[in-house]
Amino acid sequence: MKKVDCRGLNCPEPVLLTKKALSDEPGRALNVIVDNETARENVLRFVRNQGRNAEWQKEDNFFLITVSSDKKQKAPEVQPVETVKSAKHAVIFIATDEMGVGSSELGKMLMRNFIYTLTKRDVLPKAIVFMNSGVKLSIIDSPVVEELEELEQNGVQILVCGTCLDYYNLEEKHKAGLVSNMYDISDMLLEAGQVVTI
């Protein structure tokens, strides 16, 4: 039985590794090892949403998830809805280099995880717009600059507010995306099928 060891990995890595294992060898039984309850629940939910049976048991200091080789039932066919249809026309608006309110350290980690996860999605947004301190994510020493460049290579437009780069004295450090202006950014937002603000 194939084994995927996800101990020590942060969200969303356990789910992504499980998804890859299931895709590489469809129908094969699988063991997934995680070391925290959040990862356990995330993996179980993902696997069950794929129509597979999954059980777990607690071992010494980890959880062992067993994914059966058979499908419990055909996964329900998801009817396309307008938000799903427009996903390819969605624009993500990022106005800060942190996600959520509270711990700054946690917020920066969540933003890194979010952008990393975007690179693993089957459906990508049309564009990502960075404004205010969000432009710090597009500079040379940003922890997600490689992910942004990968998204660009896969057809996602990256627009970075030039005024904001100037305000933070980051013009010389800018690396990923097109330095843009409010006119082009407003056009992008107004023409979007959906705007997701982070």
pLDDT digits (tens, 9 = 90+) for 14-61: 888 888 888 887 778 889 999 988 788 888 888 888 888 889 999 889
Tell me whether residue 96 is in a domain: yes
Same domain, 65 and 11: yes
Same domain, 55 and 136: no
CATH code, domain with 133 = 3.40.1260.10
Phi-psi map region of 152: left, alpha, beta (phi>0 left; psi -120 to 50 alpha): alpha
Same domain, 149 and 53: no
Same domain, 61 and 88: no
Per the structure, the count of domains in the chain is 2
Distances, alpha carbon 170 to alpha carbons 11, 96, 100, 137, in Å: 30, 15, 24, 11
Same domain, 15 and 89: no
Same domain, 56 and 95: no
Neighbours of 25 (CB within 10 A): 12
Tell me whether residue 62 is in a domain: yes
Tell me whether residue 76 is in a domain: no
pLDDT digits (tens, 9 = 90+) for 103-133: 999 999 999 999 999 998 888 999 999 999 9
* Residue 141 near residue 173 (C-beta atoms within 8 A): yes
- DSSP letters along 4-27, please? EE-TTPPTTHHHHHHHHHHHHSTT
pLDDT digits (tens, 9 = 90+) for 155-187: 999 999 988 998 999 989 999 999 988 888 888
Residue 50 DSSP label: T
Residue 132 DSSP label: G
φ, ψ (nearest 5 deg) of residue 82:
-60, -40
State how far the Cα of 163 lies from the Cα of 45, in Å rounded to an integer. Answer: 43
φ, ψ (nearest 5 deg) of residue 53:
-80, 140
Same domain, 102 and 172: yes
Q: Which domain holds residue 8?
A: 2-71
What is the pLDDT, as a whole number, of residue 24? 82
Same domain, 181 and 93: yes
- Sign of the CA dihedral with 69 first, then 74, 76, and 77 last: positive
| pTM (two decimals) | 0.69
Tell me whether residue 77 is in a domain: no
Q: Which of 71, 100, 117 is where one domain is finished?
A: 71
More confident residue, 79 or 195: 195
Same domain, 88 and 165: yes
Q: Among candidates 70, 75, 73, which has minimal Cα distance to 28?
A: 70
Same domain, 64 and 118: no
> Which amino acid is located at 35 in the chain?
D
Same domain, 120 and 57: no
